[in-house]
Amino acid sequence: MIHTFSFVFIIVIEFLFVSSQQFLISERTTLLNLRQQWRNPPSLTNWNASSSPCDWPEIICNGNGSVTLLNLESKGLTGALPPFICDLQNLEILILADNYLTGEFPRVLYNCSELIQLDISQNDFVGPLPDDIDRLSQLEYVDLGANNFTGDIPPAIGNLSALMSLHLYQNLFDGLIPSEIGNLSSLLTLGLAYNKFATPEIPPEFGKLRNLTKLWMPQTNLIGKIPESFANLSNLELLDLSSNNLEGEIPSGLFLLKNLSNLYLYKNNLSGEIPSVIESVNLSEIDISMNKLTGSIPEDFGKLLQLEVLNLFSNQLSGSIPTTISRIPALKIFRVFRNNLGGELPSEIGLHSKLEAFEVSENKLTGKLPENLCGGGTDRIKIQK
């Protein structure tokens, strides 16, 4: 009885050993072929035929000794991505960032059926993204940033329903931003910055991305208005639409988003008044400078206890600076120069927080300087009446 049991036990052990040996030998061959295809870069000299790939620092294996993660960031790789990379059948995470890889989008990866994370940022890839990119159906995280991809973002990208993070920044995209991106309901971060899109407007469907925490789109050629639907982005923490040609008013719903902490709308053509009701109590940086905003500075800014940066310069704001602002305990940077502000500076400014920049020149301010302005250690004061 005992004898039979240990016999079975040995068979089981042997089976596990043999199957992991099989992965070891065939996947090691694949990896050594990859290295050879990439012309044996010095960064991979520790890959050799007498050690197990699972022990190589660039690799993580599963319990069966099969490769699931390959991290080749900054390894000096050149040339194309060889098709046999998907012979690593269990590959889930592929990081090739910061190399010199060339060619069009590597469709060979469609054969990596388990792939959930792909980072090919900072390489020399060119050309349009394929229309059938949704064949990478398991993807949760993708970073294609800092390459030379061109053309449209294909609408099929909206079919990658597991996506949580989509980064396409700093490419040469000059076509459409598809509204289908609004279908990516699991999306947490969306980075489209530094492209020259030819879309007239931000798709209002982006307002459907209720789980979105970061939307990063500076310098993307945007025109038209900020969609009212953004009021529905209840989890939004960072919104950067700076350096575009957006016009119209700032939707009042933006300042009601409870989790919003960083708002950058500077260098646009926004007009109208700043919404007077502000409930985004977590705001720590507001930069809406270099627009055409009119009206007065809302009293409600004084409710923002976390606020460190308030940049309102180069607008057409009038009225006086609300005294509530002088009581914000976190305020470090206050820049309102080049507006039509009048009246006296709040007398308590500089008393409740340590100002690092206080720039109010080119306005119509009167009266005397607040006495605590320098006491708090203000480094930079620019006052010119």
CA–CA dist 59, 301 (Å, integer):
50
For ligand NAG, which stretch binds (CB under 6 A), given 227-235, 341-349, 353-361, 363-371?
227-235
| Residues 328-367 close enough to bind ligand NAG by CB under 6 A | none
- For ligand NAG, which is the closer residue by CB, 161 or 366? 161
Residue 74's region, left for phi above 0, alpha for psi from -120 to 50, else beta, is left
**How many chain residues touch ligand NAG (CB under 6 A)?**
42
**b/e for 188-210, b at 16 or more Cβ within 10 A?**
bbbbbbbbebebeebbbbbbbbe
Binding-site member from 201, 247, 308, 348 for ligand NAG (CB under 6 A): 247
- For ligand NAG, which is the closer residue by CB, 190 or 365? 190
When asked if residue 207 is in the footprint of ligand NAG (CB under 6 A), the reply is: yes
CA–CA dist 82, 38 (Å, integer):
9
Residue of 54, 46, 116, 108 lying closest to 79 (CA atoms):
108
**Long-range pairs, 19-28, Cβ under 8 A, ≥24:** 19/64, 19/65, 20/64, 20/65, 20/66, 21/65, 23/61, 23/64, 23/65, 23/66, 23/67, 24/52, 24/53, 24/54, 24/65, 26/87, 27/53, 27/66, 27/67, 27/87, 27/88, 28/52, 28/53
- For ligand NAG, which is the closer residue by CB, 84 or 352? 84
Binding-site member from 114, 174, 200, 258 for ligand NAG (CB under 6 A): 258
Binding-site member from 117, 165, 183, 219 for ligand NAG (CB under 6 A): 183
When asked if residue 186 is in the footprint of ligand NAG (CB under 6 A), the reply is: yes
When asked if residue 74 is in the footprint of ligand NAG (CB under 6 A), the reply is: no
Q: How far is Cα of residue 296 from the mean position of the Cα atoms in its chain?
A: 32
When asked if residue 282 is in the footprint of ligand NAG (CB under 6 A), the reply is: yes
- For ligand NAG, which is the closer residue by CB, 159 or 361? 159
When asked if residue 63 is in the footprint of ligand NAG (CB under 6 A), the reply is: yes
Residues in contact with ligand NAG by CB under 6 A are 46, 48, 50-51, 56, 62-64, 83, 107-108, 110-111, 124, 126, 134, 148, 155-156, 158-159, 179-180, 182-183, 185-186, 205, 207, 211, 228-229, 231-232, 234-235, 245, 247, 258-259, 269, 282
